[in-house]
Amino acid sequence: MIVRRRWTAAASTVILFSAVLSHPAPGTAAPADPAPPITVSATETAVVRVQLRDQAQLDRLVATGADLANRPRTRDGRILADLVLSGTQLADLTAQGATAIQIVQRAGDGSRNYAESVRAAQARTATGLRAPAGQRTATNTDTLHVQQAYWWTTTGQTFLQAQVATTATDDPDVEITVNWRTADGATGSFPLYRFEDSGEYQYHYALPQPVPGRPVQLTATSSLGGVSRAITPTLWPNATPPPVPVGYQKDFIDAYLTPVDIQSRIKRLARQYRDLVDVIDLPNKTQGYRRTAAAYLGDPAVAAVVVDSVRFGDQGMNGVQVRTVDPGRPNRPLTVGYRDRVLTVSLATDTGGKTVSTTDEVAAAINARQPDRFRATVEDGSTGLPMPVAGPVRLDDGLQGTEVPARPWTVQALRLGVHRDGSRVGVLAYSQEHAREWATPLVTLEFAERMLANARTDPATRELLEQVDIFVIPTVNPDGANYSFNDFNFQRKNLVNHCTGPARDPKNRTSWGVDINRNYTVGSYFDGYVGASANCLSGNYAGTAELSEAESRNVIALAQDHPNIKFAMNVHSYGGYFMWPPGAYRADGRVTLPRPSIDESTLFLDSARRIVGAIAQERGTVTWPSQTGPVADVLYSAAGNSADQLYYELGIFAWDFEVGNDRWNPATGQWEGVGFQPPFDEAHGESQEYAGGLVELVRVARDYAVAQPAG
């Protein structure tokens, strides 16, 4: 029997952050999957690892804007993906043939991890893959080309990763096996899996495989009889940063940080390092931690109208009452009145005095007679039904963060350096475009504090601040982040609700907002590129237009106002990626944005090696070579992302981190994901290693500037 090892990326896949699924070590049996924990209630939300029924089911999920937290992977012929699901959605998916494998993270886990990180900070202050299937008999021979073959050693274990392409691109049944030999003569093999993107074959690959020592030879064979030439795998990343001097200061991160915490830290750094810091108030205030106030008038299970305020809840609309009343007399018309913070709808009656108004009529009357104060829509399933006498009910914005300021938010950037006048090459590091990625501002703030604290004691750091102008935006999306910390920890988008009609139903409140990293202008959804959605409830909603959101306009405004910025790093989580443009393509023919020149491609890759090497110095974390490269090649098309606009429009060398690399578990022989809001010890480790990567980016910028011809 022929086993198909393939995974196809649907054309509209839209995720820019990833978790990598577990694979057993080669030569070992795949461990039995645990019984699916059927404990997700109908209203609870969780990240669930799901085995999908087939490719068609994955394609439907992508087309409907499902919130995937990973690049789906094939394991032993099964398609596995991490999905953000409610209990109801999980039940629907299971009924369609999917199987729940693991609860990766529950909605409440983030809050517990945040609280535990704060308590820890207070205490501190006080004190595999399956063995290859048999090759089939073939009459045609293909040609194989080894695109990648890298090895590295971390925490005492050596890993090998390979990527091979076949000329039999149209044959979905081609199987490719890698054979390796180590320096001491040990041999082994493992299978590769076919990868397609936007319906086009790309290559065969596998996750990093543990091997007993340094591999010195690698060949690939196919089920069609093709054999690659023998090559010697290359050490990855084969770059080491300068040694850290004695007394070098680091570890400035004690806990997860909310936007309020970050704002406080920015003020403290500005006071503490007046000679090295400017604080830049970015020009576009965000909406703030605010929403309109809403309520169900009636019973959604029987008949109801959703009423929400035009103004935000904190603008005097929280607590406003809404009611329908029976006038108690026959032949009365439908009327709407507002007095003393009470909206009263008097229902129409017939000749016998019975109320006869429908839900549609009530909603239309509210919209027509109180358009400056209220919007009304008929609840799903209630269209045309008799409107009951109901209420009074109180409008409420549903926000739980009582300590969060509700006013519009001024996003701030730190500017670090001795010469903050545009005369030095600039580097921009920005984080938390996606609200739920709590570890990302820890990375950028740890980086900023290292540069500032060591400027007074370490000559090398002082020299960097003499030569480079550094800009840091710790939280691009503070409103969404406040919502993630206080209301719904899986919130990805901002808080601006562009939904209209039934989509404004409060039951959708955790799906409102715009994906900031799909709201930029180059390679956007509005230009026909893949990787974003026009559905306001999608996790990848692109907004009403390019740069419709204050958050995205702020990033571009900072870059435009400081043309000396030549390098940028967008910090995301999770999954362990290191990427650069092009980040988007059109589905028809998979036509990407223009590729960088040969020289620029070399700079991107050589710099990536240096930065990956610096990250690995902290605790041995190595970003895989298969996850290092252009976004469109190693992840997905991400229409309208910020790195593409910075690179193509402003000429900035722009990268993306995905912090939170998979961790190898030697006991199980599996790679394990870490999630958006891991226990703080893991988030702290991510902050330390990726801050080191940002320091190396500053060195890259310094070296680039030095190499440029004078004048």
* Residues labelled as active-site residues: 658
Is 598 within 8 Å of 43 (Cβ atoms)? Answer: no
List the one residue out of 422, 445, 700, 685 whose CA is nearest residue 565: 422
Tokens 């070992």 sit at which residue? 28
Is 101 within 8 Å of 49 (Cβ atoms)? Answer: yes
Q: Is 175 helix (H, G, I), strand (E, B) or coil?
A: coil
Which amino acid type is present at position 422? G
Angstrom distance (rounded) from CA 138 to CA 225: 7
Structure token digits, residue 256? 């997860």
Angstrom CA distances, 479 to 146, 407, 639, stand at 46, 10, 23
The angle at the Cα of 634, spanning 633 to 639, to the nearest 5 degrees, equals 65
List the one residue out of 697, 701, 645, 636 whose CA is nearest residue 72: 636
Structure token digits, residue 265? 């830290």
Give the DSSP H/E element, type plus range, for residue 338.
strand 335-339
Q: Is 270 helix (H, G, I), strand (E, B) or coil?
A: helix
Angstrom CA distances, 263 to 117, 120, 441, 554, stand at 18, 21, 11, 16
Q: Is 53 helix (H, G, I), strand (E, B) or coil?
A: coil
Angstrom CA distances, 339 to 320, 347, 383, stand at 10, 17, 28
List the one residue out of 247, 243, 265, 268 whose CA is nearest residue 256: 265
Q: How many CA atoms lie within 13 A of 119 on its CB side?
A: 7
- DSSP per-residue letters across 470-493: EEEES-S-HHHHHHHHHT-TT--S
Largest CA distance in the chain: 98
For the chain, counts of helices (H) and of strands (E):
13, 32
- Per DSSP, which regions of 351-431 are E strands? 374-378, 393-394, 412-416, 425-431
Structure token digits, residue 100? 């729940």
Structure token digits, residue 524? 């956007």
Angstrom distance (rounded) from CA 137 to CA 363: 69
Angstrom distance (rounded) from CA 140 to CA 148: 25
Buried b (16+ CB within 10 A) or exposed e, 549-582: bbbbbbbbbbbeebeebbbbbbbbbbbbbbbbbb
Angstrom distance (rounded) from CA 107 to CA 246: 42
Neighbouring C-beta atoms of residue 13, cutoff 10 Å: 24
Beta strand 187-197 with 200-205: parallel, antiparallel or unpaired? antiparallel
Structure token digits, residue 329? 């007399």
List the one residue out of 290, 546, 503 whose CA is nearest residue 407: 290
- Per DSSP, which regions of 417-502 are E strands? 425-431, 468-473
Is 186 within 8 Å of 212 (Cβ atoms)? Answer: yes
Angstrom CA distances, 162 to 159, 179, 191, 228, 663, stand at 10, 10, 10, 12, 19
Which amino acid type is present at position 29? A
Structure token digits, residue 207? 């996750």
